[in-house]
Chains A and B, each alone.
Chain A
Amino acid sequence: MKIVVCMKQVPATSKVDIDPETGAMKRMSGETRTNPYDLFALETALSIREKTGGTVTVLTMGPPQAEEMIRDAYTMGADEGVILSDRKFAGADVLATSYALAQGIQVIGGADLIICGRQTTDGDTAQVGPAIAEHLTIPHAAWVAEIMDVNEKNIQVRQDLVSVSQVSEIPYPCLLTIDKDTCVPRLPSYLLKKATSDRPVRILSFEDMPDQDLSRYGLIGSPTSVEKMFAPEESEKQVYLEGTAKEKADRLVALLTGKKII
């Protein structure tokens, strides 16, 4: 069983300031962390491996500093780490990101099971997982809440889709996106840290990709563009409602309805 977990390094805080004059994002401190949602994906992969045997490979697209995240994943028990890193990949939206990741998965010999987090804390689209599955023409299940059973041929998962809870069986190869708080990610192990300190991290660049069509990657391969960014509207100041009790109630219901709060 070969499991690939897609993980992304994100800014350490999602508090961002926008320069009110230029509309530009003020430089955030360079500090990064592993996308917290991806830890549930990694934990799910590691516990599946405990049942089925096999390997867990962590795959990321990002700058070379992502090695830090891969090393952390090694201390939790991941077997291999691969970084897709090239200036040609920079500025990618979901389409170009998922395409590069799908290509990377082919370079490392494919996967039986691919696991993604539910979303990131920066771009926050929750789209990369299903898009990878589409590039690879494999089935996927999103927002998985629980792995019910797993064997050599297929995996059974539970998804909670608002009002229904659905259990499905999916044959490999397939992709899952794991919901948050579905498991408790294990702590890094000191022994593993020592044991993996000289384990290599594989770097792949554009030259390694099977598809050498540059227009599928990075900024030029991205159909969406961020035209501008701005701070969300501040909620307005306090309102004191006036009149009789009935008038106040009327006014409140109108205000809450108008703001679609009720």
Chain B
Amino acid sequence: AIRFEQKAKSFDKDKWKNFLIYVEQERGEIHPVTFELIGEARKMAVKVGYQVNCVIVGGKGTKENAEKLLPYGVDNVYVYEHEGFEGFRADCYTDAVADCIAANKPSSVLIGATALGRSLAPRLSTRFHTGLTADCTTLDIRSNTDMIQIRPAFGGNIMAQIGITKSRPQFATVRYKVMDKAEKVKNPHGQVVVCPVNEKMADSRIKILSSRVIDKVKSLEEEDVLVVAGRGVRNEKDVEMCRELADALGGQLAFTRPMVENGFGDVAHQIGLSGRTVRPKLVITCGVSGAIQFTSCMTGSDCIVAINNDPEAQIFNVADYCIVDDLYQVVPELTELIKNRKED
């Protein structure tokens, strides 16, 4: 391992320039949070005249993935490709990224706040004896190149603004799906820079014994998106119409109790007092009246959409977005829009 001693508070800010983004790879693909980090870094970079550079570490195919970043307007993509980097291990990945940081002296390093990123980032910031702000949801930069970093703490009950004003680099992990993705640029100008990797750098004390793709069926409670069919949905065919919406959204279909009693679904997919309690990011109820035995078990959801043709329905008391209309008109329309959106 490379040891790099840098005492906090004894540094020269001007020696540290530009943004460096850690590019995570997941099963040979670039993790989508990367494009959000690039988008955010580009916005900040123009304010202080910085470059936006990337570093990518991995086994075979890493250089090809590096090329895919250039259309998004980045300057340099530093590549550390070696068979020893097949599969994430915190120790040797830290060595590779630390090598890149020591050589390029970035002012800010942005890493996705994924399971992998949050394992890697604290090792790096510790190695450089500097600060790391966890799980940021808003970033900005002052003209003196200090970042303004905002993050939730106490389980999201408060927001804190964190500064790293007396040491460099400033590290931040950034939550996935909160920043805008970078747009492609007309004339990409960046380049891929292949960095030498020696055996020692790629050597890890951790041995991967097996690695398999998880394709477990998520339980209702784990789902980010739920579509609920209530008694306003009249028959099997119409239930399928709702299921299509759930599929288009990448979520699951759930039911109210009378629907389960009528055999349209099982109890594992029933929301309510005698079923499951859920708190997904999004729930869309279709033809659900909103009885307390139902709503009390889903009001923790981040966003509730209700579709019901009765403006007096109780479900509208708990909904964020209210659609007073015929579900048979609205649901197929929604499914179409979401499918088309996915395709572009």
Q: Is the CB of B206 within 8 A of A168?
A: yes
For chain A, the bracket of interface size reads 35 or more
Complex alpha-carbon distance, A160 and B7, angstroms: 35
Q: Is the CB of B341 within 8 A of A257?
A: yes
Complex alpha-carbon distance, A14 and B157, angstroms: 7
Q: CB within 8 A of B210: which of A25, A167, A223?
A: A167
> Would A131 and B163 be within 8 Å (CB), given that A126-B134, A168-B208 are in contact?
no
Sample of 11 more A-B contacts, CB < 8 Å, known A124-B134, A125-B134, A238-B316: A16-B157, A122-B153, A140-B91, A161-B26, A163-B214, A164-B213, A215-B8, A222-B131, A224-B133, A241-B321, A246-B329
Q: Is the CB of A130 within 8 A of B208?
A: no
Show the binding face of B for A, using Cβ within 8 Å. Answer: 1, 3, 7-9, 26-27, 87-91, 94, 114-116, 118-123, 125-127, 129-135, 148, 152-167, 177-178, 204-214, 225, 249, 281-282, 302-303, 305, 316, 319-326, 329-330, 333-334, 337-338, 341
How many Å from the CB of A125 to the closest CB on chain B?
4
> Would A162 and B115 be within 8 Å (CB), given that A94-B132, A139-B205 are in contact?
yes
Q: List 19 A-B contacts (CB under 8 A).
A: A95-B126, A121-B155, A122-B153, A124-B152, A127-B121, A128-B122, A130-B90, A130-B119, A139-B205, A161-B116, A168-B206, A169-B207, A223-B9, A225-B164, A232-B157, A240-B322, A245-B325, A245-B330, A256-B305
Q: Is the CB of B132 within 8 A of A134?
A: no
Residues of A within 8 A of B333 (CB): 245-246, 249-250
Residues of A within 8 A of B88 (CB): 161, 166
Q: Is the CB of B323 within 8 A of A162?
A: no
Residues of A within 8 A of B3 (CB): 137
Interface membership of A187, Cβ < 8 A: no
Interface membership of A93, Cβ < 8 A: yes
Complex alpha-carbon distance, A114 and B95, angstroms: 22
Q: Is the CB of A231 within 8 A of B326?
A: no
> Would A134 and B8 be within 8 Å (CB), given that A166-B208, A168-B209, A238-B322 are in contact?
no
Q: Is the CB of B157 within 8 A of A239?
A: no
Interface membership of A252, Cβ < 8 A: yes
Interface membership of A170, Cβ < 8 A: yes
**Main SS of chain B's interface residues?**
mixed
Complex alpha-carbon distance, A169 and B94, angstroms: 18
Q: Is the CB of A223 within 8 A of B130?
A: yes
Q: CB within 8 A of B158: which of A18, A129, A141, A169?
A: A18
> Would A95 and B212 be within 8 Å (CB), given that A252-B334, A261-B303 are in contact?
no
Q: Is the CB of B338 within 8 A of A253?
A: yes
Q: Is the CB of B155 within 8 A of A93?
A: no
Residues of B within 8 A of A221 (CB): 8
Residues of B within 8 A of A107 (CB): none
Q: CB within 8 A of A224: which of B154, B164, B305, B324?
A: B164
Residue of A nearest to B124 (CB): A134
Complex alpha-carbon distance, A131 and B163, angstroms: 19
Complex alpha-carbon distance, A143 and B153, angstroms: 19
Complex alpha-carbon distance, A125 and B171, angstroms: 13
Query: Shortest 6 CB-CB distances between A and B: which pairs?
Result: A223-B131, A245-B329, A125-B134, A224-B131, A142-B119, A249-B333
Interface membership of A108, Cβ < 8 A: no
Residues of B within 8 A of A93 (CB): 131
